[in-house]
Amino acid sequence: MKQHRKNRIYVILFIGISILISIFLVFSALQENINLFYSPTDLQNNPPMSDKSIRAGGLVKENSLLRNKDSLKINFEITDLKNTVSVTYEGLLPDLFKENKGVVATGYFYASTNEFVAYEILAKHDENYVPKEVKKALE
């Protein structure tokens, strides 16, 4: 009888420890893969560590887009109409990327220079966007 009770306690302890280890591993994985979103004002007031990948978003400031003629390097500024952050990106821009339109950039923010170095740019569209194919089908 005592042996049966001991075995039951061992099984319960094993299950409990397994659950705790599983919870720890899930939270560790989530913490590493979380990608927070910041506006230019958030970046000014509470800048993240420069070694952490984040997303920054806002409107592309008018007359701020500068393209390098010799490479794919692009500089522009994003604003939330309160603060502005300079963005550097090297690569092809999405078709919807335009001045005074929304954009989300993924990369690293350097508070000392107020510069965001992006490795991915996503252009945002408004809620009235309709793909060409759908528009043709509706006509």
Over residues 23-72, the pLDDT tens digits come to 999 888 877 666 678 888 888 888 887 778 888 888 888 888 888 888 88
Task: Give the pLDDT mean for 75-88.
Answer: 90
Task: Give the pLDDT mean for 69-91.
Answer: 89
In a 3-state reduction of DSSP, which class is residue 75? strand
pLDDT > 80? residue 11: yes
134 pLDDT tier (thresholds 50, 70, 90): very low
Neighbour-count burial for 41-60, b at 16+ CB within 10 Å, e otherwise: bbbbeeebeeeeebbbbbbb
76 pLDDT tier (thresholds 50, 70, 90): very high
pLDDT > 50? residue 112: yes
In the prediction, which pLDDT does 137 show?
45
| Side-chain-side CA neighbours of residue 100 (13 Å) | 2
Element (H, E) at 85: strand 84-90
For the four alpha carbons of 52, 55, 58 and 61, in that order, the dihedral sign comes to: positive
135 pLDDT tier (thresholds 50, 70, 90): low
pTM of the model as a whole: 0.66
CA distance readout (Å), 90 to 31, 70, 134:
28, 12, 32
